[in-house]
Structure 1
């Protein structure tokens, strides 16, 4: 479990980092700031109070993907919930970290989209567009921020397509 968590998390961080680098110049974002954000992306999952909960959550997703039934041991689900809550409220690429979701900077939005894209890449789903279309309303972004997010998705998809 722990080994799988370490490998999967490192791979995810690496995908996000590569996606961030790909966005150089978008909205005048400089490579150095994109690389720096990519380097620290999800590092909070590697230490408490997040690590233990994310080990359980990552294993649950692994089992689900493999079609294996898995129940958390007693107390683990609460630990997962606390870990996720801490993560969302402690990392700028999550709307929950901001007093208002619309306070997210361009760098925050790009990292968020790169994160979603990395998840889509992990699950071989192509663009994160359908995920975002299904979930965007839960963050209460205003109309302009929603447009900014969809424009960013379009831009990363275009840049990834050029890379192929």
Structure 2
């Protein structure tokens, strides 16, 4: 057996890098194609007429609420047609998310992100946690989604309370972060103040920090600054 030299290692590593680069470019090509044709079926019948009526109604509702679910039910045939023609929806597949591929999942995440901009109280963290129950995906996948949110924004806060209330905030500026915290209906004023001032005073000058905090076993916060 010939000696495996430094030059051999460099050659093999460069070959591996080239292969990974090729596969990633193929991946991005597929995502680009999906980006260009995302939700194209909404621009034609039978979807266009129904989405024209219900888009403003959905915008004014809270994602996952009874009102939201009622609107989806009333969208009936159009929504069924949309799911059948768009594989980034778990409803497209017999086994939901379990049948999806990575391309579907990435497009689905981007779809959720954009959809939060269309709701008056849209929140991607809450959508991720609500959809975990709705689509029965794992805690690991939920954390992957949340970690992705943290990669997209400078500040990300995840919270959970022993009464079962969960949520989070994400923003690229302190001002925006404070506005979102102030608007949160599931936190007391005391909890909001502690998140806004207590933790931020401690971490505001840190380039990156991840920290778990628990107060009296009743309020857990996962704080990320990038």
Q: Same fold (TM over 0.5)?
A: yes
For structure 1, the 5+ residue unaligned runs are 1-24, 66-76
TM-score (norm 2): 0.46
Q: Which has the higher strand share?
A: 2
Of the three residues 124, 137, 143, the one matched with 1:128 is: 124
1:69-103 alpha-carbon deviations (Å, 9 max, x no partner): xxxxxxxx987221112212321110010121201
User: Which stretch shows the higher mean deviation, 45-54 or 30-39?
Assistant: 30-39
Q: How far apart, in 2, do the equivalents of 1:100 and 1:132 lie?
A: 19
For residue 38 of structure 2, what is the aligned residue in structure 1?
41
Q: How far apart, in 2, do the equivalents of 1:54 and 1:126 lie?
A: 18
For structure 2, the 5+ residue unaligned runs are 1-20, 62-71, 156-171, 173-226
Q: Is the 8 A contact 2:128 2:145 kept in 1?
A: no
Residues 122, 104 of structure 1: alpha-carbon distance in 2 compared, 3 angstrom cutoff: same
Aligned residue pairs, count: 124
RMSD: 3.2
Of the three residues 147, 156, 162, the one matched with 1:154 is: 147
Q: Which has the higher helix share?
A: 1
Of the three residues 109, 115, 118, the one matched with 2:111 is: 115
- Cα drift, residue 61 of structure 1: 3.3
Residues 59, 127 of structure 1: alpha-carbon distance in 2 compared, 3 angstrom cutoff: closer
TM-score (norm 1): 0.61
Q: How does 1:23-102 map to 2 (within 5 A)?
A: 28=24, 30-61=27-58, 64=60, 80-101=75-96, 102=98
1:34-87 alpha-carbon deviations (Å, 9 max, x no partner): 21111111111111121111111113235x37xxxxxxxxxxx98722111221
Q: Is the 8 A contact 2:132 2:142 kept in 1?
A: no
